[in-house]
């Protein structure tokens, strides 16, 4: 099969054939505890009954109409998300990268509407916003960009978490119109900024007439212990992007906006053939219902604290562990050496984890895991890290 696929992924030698809750089963019927959730996609775990029922029912009724027509489920989903986020309007796409493309286009149009001919957007080092040409240009990871030059112009980069650096940009770059930032950097290594960072960015944006655009593609939909991570700061962005857990496996992304940003696009400015079709929107509505009815936002906050405490109990102070951090069910353990081989070691023991930024173990378990499963993840990771550090030299 691999001969007929482009080699765009370094795939692990395993094939999953079914899933149930937090468990995945391979083609030998061996089960694995999924502590990465399809990279934060399956917040409700695998084959969630309510989501599966919604998909099947909608597929039997109407899967797709184009955006030439009214889409009732799209209108309902837009209303639900805007109510949850305190926003005014939504645009639906197929992915997070497309949602960020919409945000970037809103910022540029906003700039032109304010008579700035070459608008610029402040983006952050070590960020990740997607792999389309514009979003990889915004991304702060040279590995993602290498080979695809010339990159899209119009991005100004700042160190993540450094509000003074953004203040310096404001003093010297009159063409800046927006800031695009993740409340928590996921791909960058579960990096959590200082508590007042987002508030500082909000103030700078207000002072200079910029749009504050938050990429909540990994941190949103309850994972951070709030519906959206920025709500912990008591602020409201002008633009917010979502995807991943919004569809629990059904491809869907969203760009939400409020105020002037919500009125920037006019017919013809942007669009998507599949974005916001009845099947994807009905699925996302079922996802929201399931998160709400099961109290999973609050559950993510409480469980995340317990898992973080467990990781600290097992690994804090151990030579080779440089940091343990987390927000809700976004958890990271940073080591002082490359540790990608831990993914294979964990898989051999029936546990699925991820390593990002080369030396950060990233845990993104489903929000539906029970206490015993959460403890099993903590115990498994602690044992793996201890064994790894005792058997490998410093990097």
**pLDDT at position 66 over 90:** yes
Fold category of 16-47+295-390 in CATH: 3.90.1150
Contact by Cβ (8 Å): 189, 267? no
What is the reported pLDDT for 3?
86
Looking at residue 392, what is its pLDDT? 85
Q: What percent of the chain has pLDDT over 90?
A: 98
Q: How confident is the model at residue 124 (pLDDT cuts 50, 70, 90)?
A: very high
Q: State how far the Cα of 374 lies from the Cα of 310, in Å rounded to an integer.
A: 10
Tens-place pLDDT, residues 73-105: 999 999 999 999 999 999 999 999 999 999 999
* The pairing of beta strand 176-181 with beta strand 211-215: parallel
- 1: pLDDT confidence band, cut at 50, 70 and 90? low
pLDDT in tens, 198-237: 999 999 999 999 999 999 999 999 999 999 999 999 999 9
Does 218 show up as a binding residue in the annotation? yes
Question: In the chain, which residues fall in CATH 3.40.640.10?
Answer: 49-294
Q: How does strand 354-356 pair with strand 360-363?
A: antiparallel
- The answer for 197, left when phi > 0, alpha when psi is -120 to 50, beta otherwise, is alpha
Strand residue runs (E) in the chain: 16-20, 23-26, 31-34, 89-93, 120-124, 155-158, 176-181, 211-215, 239-242, 253-257, 321-327, 330-335, 351-352, 354-356, 360-363
Phi and psi based region of residue 209 (left: phi greater than 0; alpha: psi -120 to 50; beta: remaining): left
96 is in an annotated binding site: yes
Pair 27, 15: CB distance under 8 Å: yes
Residue 14 in this model has a pLDDT that exceeds 80: yes
| Per-residue pLDDT band at 245 (split at 50, 70, 90) | very high
Is the pLDDT at 395 greater than 70, yes or no?
Answer: no
The residues of the chain that CATH labels 3.90.1150.10 are 16-47+295-390
**Three-state DSSP state, 179:** strand
Decide if domain 49-294 falls under CATH 3.40.5.90.
no
At 393 the pLDDT is: 76
Residue 373, marked binder: no
> So which residues are the catalytic ones?
128, 215, 244
117 is in an annotated binding site: no
Supply the pLDDT for residue 56: 98
pTM for the whole thing?
0.97
Q: How many other CB atoms are found less than 10 A from the CB of residue 159? A: 13
| Contact between 331 and 311 (Cβ < 8 Å) | yes
Q: SS3 helix, strand, coil % of the chain, rounded to 5?
A: 40, 20, 40
C-alpha 159/C-alpha 185 separation (Å) is: 12
Q: What is the mean pLDDT of the segment spanning 106-118?
A: 98
Q: Give mean pLDDT, residues 141-147.
A: 94
Contacts with 308 (C-beta within 8 Å, 6 or more apart), sequence order: 324, 325, 326, 331
Query: For residue range 358-394, what is the model confidence (pLDDT) as tens digits?
Result: 999 999 999 999 999 999 999 999 999 999 999 987 6
Please count the CA atoms within 13 angstroms of the CA of 343 that sit on its side-chain side. Answer: 18
Q: Is 273 annotated as a binding residue?
A: yes
User: Is residue 392 a known part of a binding site?
Assistant: no
131 is in an annotated binding site: yes
């Amino acid at each position: 099969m691999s001969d007929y696929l482009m080699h765009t992924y370094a795939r692990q030698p395993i094939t999953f054939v079914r899933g149930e809750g937090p468990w995945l089963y391979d083609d030998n019927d061996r089960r694995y505890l999924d502590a990465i959730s399809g990279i934060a996609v399956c917040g409700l775990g695998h084959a969630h009954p309510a989501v599966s029922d919604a998909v099947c029912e909608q597929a039997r009724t109407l899967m797709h109409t184009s955006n030439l027509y009214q889409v009732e489920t799209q209108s309902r989903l837009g209303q639900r998300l805007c109510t949850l986020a305190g926003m005014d309007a939504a645009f639906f796409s197929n992915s997070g990268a497309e949602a960020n493309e919409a945000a970037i286009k809103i910022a540029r149009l906003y700039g032109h509407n304010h008579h700035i001919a070459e608008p610029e957007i402040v983006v952050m080092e070590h960020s990740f916003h997607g792999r389309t040409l514009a979003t990889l240009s915004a991304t702060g990871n040279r590995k993602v960009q290498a080979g695809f030059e010339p990159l899209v112009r119009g991005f100004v980069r700042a160190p993540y978490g450094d509000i003074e650096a953004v203040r310096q940009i404001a003093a010297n770059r009159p063409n800046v119109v927006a800031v695009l930032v993740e409340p928590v950097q996921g791909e960058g290594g579960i990096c959590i900024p200082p508590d007042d960072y987002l508030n500082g960015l909000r103030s700078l944006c207000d002072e200079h007439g910029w749009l504050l655009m938050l990429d909540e593609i990994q941190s949103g939909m309850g994972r951070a212990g709030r519906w959206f991570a920025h709500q912990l700061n008591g602020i409201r962005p002008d633009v917010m992007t979502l995807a991943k857990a919004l569809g629990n496996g059904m491809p869907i992304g969203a760009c939400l906006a409020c105020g002037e940003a919500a009125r920037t696009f006019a017919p013809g400015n942007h669009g998507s053939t599949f974005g916001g079709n009845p099947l994807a929107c009905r699925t996302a509505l079922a996802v929201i219902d399931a998160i709400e009815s099961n109290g999973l936002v609050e559950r993510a906050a409480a469980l995340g604290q317990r898992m973080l405490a467990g990781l600290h109990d097992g690994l804090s102070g151990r030579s080779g562990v440089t940091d343990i951090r987390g927000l809700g069910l976004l958890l990271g353990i940073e080591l002082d050496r490359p540790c990608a081989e831990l993914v294979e070691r964990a898989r051999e023991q029936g546990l699925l984890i991820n390593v990002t930024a080369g030396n950060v173990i990233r845990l993104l378990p489903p929000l539906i895991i029970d206490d015993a499963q959460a403890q099993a993840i903590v115990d498994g990771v602690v044992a793996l890290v201890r064994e790894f550090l005792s058997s490998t030299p410093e990097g």
